[in-house]
Copies of this chain bind each other. A is one copy, B any other.
Amino acid sequence: MAVGEAGRNRVEERVSRIVQQLRASGHRITPQRVAIIRHFVGRTDHPSAEDIHTELLADYPMMALSTVYGTLRLLAEMGEAVEVSPATHETRFDPDVGDHCHLTCLACNRIMDLPMDACVHAEDFATAAQHQGFQPVRQVYQVFGYCADCRRDREAPSRA
């Protein structure tokens, strides 16, 4: 119900691409890594490392939580995941690395995605959120990147 055949193929494509990148950058391809990546990519929610670990434990009883953390960090460094920090202090990871908007509920800490096409104007975020039944309280826009100072020190680091 969640992912159709087309969606599944798209997921597998992305998994393959990530695996290739990993191999290309000298990383080893282990069953654990593949399982974590496949389990993560294509999700539409924002799981924590522990979520993923718990869910994978059924199929991989020896899977260590630290391995999940490591693989997610790897994905984040590759630009294949974004860390999202909700009101709670457990980091969530988002496989959607495109520009989009998070609706974070202050009560239940759930994170919902807001399609960006509804948000051409900055002030549209709150309006679009309201259309989804979400009651906006505060908004913070975050742009991650490199500041003027740090940019100097990283002239083309290792980008392929």
Contact = CB atoms under 8 A, between A and B. Distances in A.
Given A91-B89, A116-B122, A135-B151, A143 B103 contact: yes
A62 interface: no
A142 B145 contact: no
A133 interface: yes
A73 to B, nearest CB: 11
A28 interface: no
A22 interface: no
A138 B79 contact: yes
A139 B142 contact: yes
A-B complex: 4 closest residue pairs judged by Cβ atoms: A85-B85, A133-B148, A107-B150, A105-B147
